[in-house]
């Protein structure tokens, strides 16, 4: 389930990042405004990277739940005296 939510979040970020990157490429290669073009491309890359690594307050319950499930459902240790 977390994979679907992460995909939707990435798609929402790309809705903002792709137009900024395309405008940056336009300024960089077609209009000759190098600084502004590089800044827009950097902004687009930064949006995607920050969205991937940043933990939002809405993500905290999911992180806590995954840690709780991980501690509750640990594999039982095998008994060395068990001859099965």
State residue 84's pLDDT score: 56
User: Region 55-61: what's the mean pLDDT?
Assistant: 71
pLDDT at 37 over 60: yes
Where are the chain's structural domains?
2-71
User: In this structure, what token pair is assigned to residue 38?
Assistant: 């590089």
Q: Is 76 exposed, middle or buried, given 0-12, 13-18 or 19+ CB atoms closer than 10 A?
A: exposed
Per residue in 2-29, pLDDT tens? Answer: 578 788 888 999 999 999 999 999 999 9
Give the C-alpha separation, 33 to 6, whole Å: 35
pLDDT at 33 over 70: yes
Residues 15, 44 contacting (CB under 8 angstroms): no
Residues 62, 24 contacting (CB under 8 angstroms): no
Quick one: pLDDT band at residue 54, thresholds 50, 70, 90? Answer: confident
Residues 24, 37 contacting (CB under 8 angstroms): yes
pLDDT at 39 over 90: yes
């Amino acid at each position: 389930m977390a994979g679907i939510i992460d995909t939707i979040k990435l798609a929402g970020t790309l809705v903002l990042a792709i137009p900024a990157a395309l405008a940056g490429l336009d300024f960089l290669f077609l209009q000759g405004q190098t600084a502004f073009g590089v800044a827009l491309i950097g902004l687009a890359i930064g949006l995607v990277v920050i969205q991937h690594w940043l933990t939002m307050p809405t993500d905290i319950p999911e992180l806590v739940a995954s840690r709780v499930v991980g501690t509750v459902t640990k594999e039982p240790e095998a008994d060395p005296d068990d001859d099965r």
